[in-house]
């Protein structure tokens, strides 16, 4: 199992291009099932998660062709014919977003058998809202030995669906199914994340009719078929925020390009409050901090978009470990999402967790130590802390990191970080 070693103390100076958003790319990939024509996705991230979903799509009969390298990566998806409507457990369990093939398969073919996604380390994240939405559209659903067996022999029908709470996954899944449903579907209390807007706009480029973009009420008028399209995956706001925090943690000046500053507005406000200089540019931001000047403690509470993203909470906690004073971090989205706190404590951080609240008292310095990644966002928070820790920090289980960060060592290394990957067979890279 690979690990990453960081020798702390180097400031970061340089440019980091931001990749396409994992959370958008996965749903756009699922959208390829909805048409028998090619869907070309540009700015496509190459990650463990996109590879997993690509394997599943191939099983279903989708041709998946990767092209280009680096900033010019694109992938062509062509579902000329759906050969199978069965998504087995061994593929779906590896990555939750695979479950989102259910709606498109049902909408296009009238049937699907998809494994339930299984557990998740950061909370329950049930799929009941997904199933309720599909049932409201007329799907017949039964659960059998861990599988969802869904049928819509006469096609899906438009419906009014009000979510009891904001759910990104359920909003996206309902949207994917509703574009081919007969009649009008209204999604109320819909999530407003930029990745949902990206998915809706791509579907519209394919011929779907969607109104209410970027609001909490989406109105979808079903069409009989969709065409192919070419679509650029939106910039990854979580990657952008993570590197912004990394630059603030290490000190120096880093320019983040190929991104949109407004996507991380809530984080920007908190970082500025903490004493970090952030300057918007035409295609991103410049993050600047004098490492000789100590950060100030700031309180944050995670909220649904456009509030402070839960996917940036671990990174911000790492930043606050060296801030002057005491910061209180409230996690309101997922239970059990402070698993990085004891690992940061191994580096010398002073963090006390009680239920959904973490109190971080800033320390003068962190000290390198072996730590273990527990989930995707926690893993990058440990890398960020390692950039500022004295001595060497080794982060284990970095397969979590590979699920959502493309060429992380390369991007940080280009800005002066002393970072290297240690392959599990003992070879360094």
Which parts are annotated binding residues? 22-23, 96, 125-129, 311, 333
Whether 428 is in a domain gets the answer no
CB 86 within 8 A of CB 80: no
pLDDT tens sequence across 320-367: 999 999 999 999 998 878 999 999 999 999 999 999 999 999 999 999
CATH of the domain at 120: 3.65.10.10
Would the pLDDT of 254 be above 50? yes
Whether 161 is in a domain gets the answer yes
Active site residues: 120
Angle (CA) 385 194 238, round 5°? 10
User: What range does the domain containing 274 cover?
Assistant: 3-19+235-422
**Final residue belonging to a domain, choices 182, 204, 232:** 232
**Final residue belonging to a domain, choices 180, 206, 232:** 232
Is the same domain home to 10 and 53?
no
**Over pLDDT 90: what percentage of the chain?**
90
Computed over every residue of the chain, the mean pLDDT equals 95
Q: Report, as an integer, the average pLDDT of 180-185.
A: 98
Domain count, the chain: 2
Which parts are annotated binding residues for phosphoenolpyruvate? 22-23
Is the same domain home to 183 and 63?
yes
Whether 319 is in a domain gets the answer yes
CB 89 within 8 A of CB 55: no
Is the same domain home to 305 and 203?
no
Which parts are annotated binding residues for UDP-N-acetyl-alpha-D-glucosamine? 96, 125-129, 311, 333
Whether 178 is in a domain gets the answer yes
Q: How confident is the model at residue 121 (pLDDT cuts 50, 70, 90)?
A: very low
pLDDT tens sequence across 41-52: 999 999 999 999
pLDDT at residue 126, rounded to an integer: 73
What pTM value is reported for the model? Answer: 0.95
**Final residue belonging to a domain, choices 215, 232, 249:** 232
């Amino acid at each position: 199992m690979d690990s990453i070693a960081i020798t702390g103390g180097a400031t970061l100076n340089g440019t980091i291009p931001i990749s396409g958003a994992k959370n958008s790319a996965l749903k756009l990939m699922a959208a390829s099932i909805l048409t028998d024509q090619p869907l070309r996705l540009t700015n496509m991230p190459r990650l463990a998660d996109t590879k997993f979903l690509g394997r599943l799509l191939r099983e279903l009969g989708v041709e998946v062709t990767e092209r280009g390298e680096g900033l010019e990566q694109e992938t062509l998806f062509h579902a000329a014919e759906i050969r199978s409507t069965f998504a087995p457990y061994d593929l779906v369990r590896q990555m939750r977003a695979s479950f989102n093939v259910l709606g498109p398969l049902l909408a296009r073919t009238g049937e699907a058998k998809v494994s339930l996604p299984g557990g998740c380390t950061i909370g329950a994240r049930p799929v009941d809202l997904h199933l309720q939405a599909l049932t409201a559209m007329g799907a017949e659903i039964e659960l059998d030995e861990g599988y969802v067996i869904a049928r819509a022999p006469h096609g899906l029908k438009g419906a009014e669906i009000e979510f009891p709470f904001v759910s990104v996954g359920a909003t996206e899944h309902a949207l994917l199914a509703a574009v081919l449903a007969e009649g009008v579907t209204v999604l109320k209390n819909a999530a407003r994340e930029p990745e949902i807007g990206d998915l809706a706009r791509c579907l519209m480029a394919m011929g779907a009719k969607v109104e209410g973009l970027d609001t909490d009420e989406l109105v979808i008028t079903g069409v009989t078929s969709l065409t192919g399209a070419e679509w650029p995956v939106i910039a990854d706001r979580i990657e952008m925020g993570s590197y912004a925090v990394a630059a603030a943690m290490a000190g120096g000046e880093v320019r983040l390009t190929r991104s949109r500053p407004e996507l991380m507005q809530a984080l920007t406000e908190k970082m500025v409050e903490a004493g970090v200089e952030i300057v918007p540019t035409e295609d991103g931001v410049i993050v600047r901090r004098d490492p000789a000047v100590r950060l100030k403690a700031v309180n944050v509470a995670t909220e649904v978009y456009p509030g402070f993203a839960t996917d940036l909470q671990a990174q911000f906690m790492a930043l606050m470990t060296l801030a002057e004073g005491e910061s209180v971090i409230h996690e309101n989205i997922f239970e059990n999402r402070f698993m990085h706190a004891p690992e940061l404590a191994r580096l010398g951080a002073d963090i006390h967790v009680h239920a959904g609240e973490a109190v971080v008292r800033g320390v003068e310095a962190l000290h390198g130590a072996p730590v273990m990644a527990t989930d995707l966002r926690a893993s990058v928070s440990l890398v960020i802390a390692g950039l500022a820790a004295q001595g060497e920090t080794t982060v284990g289980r970095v397969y979590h990191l590979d699920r959502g960060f493309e060429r992380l060592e390369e991007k940080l290394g280009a800005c002066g970080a002393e970072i290297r990957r240690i392959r599990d067979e003992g070879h360094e890279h």
